[in-house]
Amino acid sequence: MLLLWGACDKTNNSVSLNLKAVIYAYENDTFQDVEYYAIHEIRHIFQHMKINELDEGINNGVEENLVKWWKYEEEHYIRVKDENGNVNDDYFKQDIEMDAYAFALAVMQYKYGTIDLYIPPIYGKEFYEIVDW
């Protein structure tokens, strides 16, 4: 089951979590999932801030071509579910999503060590190289 865990509002740099997903995690003793997805959404806020800095001509410490790609994907964002409510694998293929999943996993592994969290099944070696970087 793919839960919609949260979302970020880039206009005011806020993150919202799905209360039903939080309750599900609590009831299933997987509360670290809440932290994982909160970090994932916070990473999206970071990405958007770097895009804004790039637009303002600020050298922001992140590779410029990567930020330009994040901007393109943000402008052409593919949602996790299509118009029929089916999971859209193209959502997971977006660099902004892979980056957010990798960042969140790296933080969680740093904090907890080996941990069982959702990794999109389409992610392979490249994803884990990002996590381990």
- pLDDT per position as a tens digit, 48-96: 999 999 999 997 789 999 999 999 999 999 988 888 888 888 999 999 9
Say how far apart CA 22 and CA 17 lie, in whole Å.
Answer: 7
Reported as a single tens digit per residue, the pLDDT across 12-61 is 888 888 888 889 889 998 889 999 999 999 999 999 999 999 999 997 78
CA 54 vs CA 4, 35, 69: distances in Å: 30, 29, 11
- Residue 6: name the closest of 72, 24, 125, 121 by CA: 24
Question: Who has greater pLDDT, 133 or 87?
Answer: 87
Other CB atoms within 10 A of residue 67 CB: 19
Q: Quote the mean pLDDT of the chain.
A: 89
pLDDT value at residue 129: 85
Say if pTM beats, i.e. exceeds, 0.85: yes
Averaged over 92-106, what is the pLDDT?
A: 95
Q: Is the pLDDT of residue 99 over 90?
A: yes
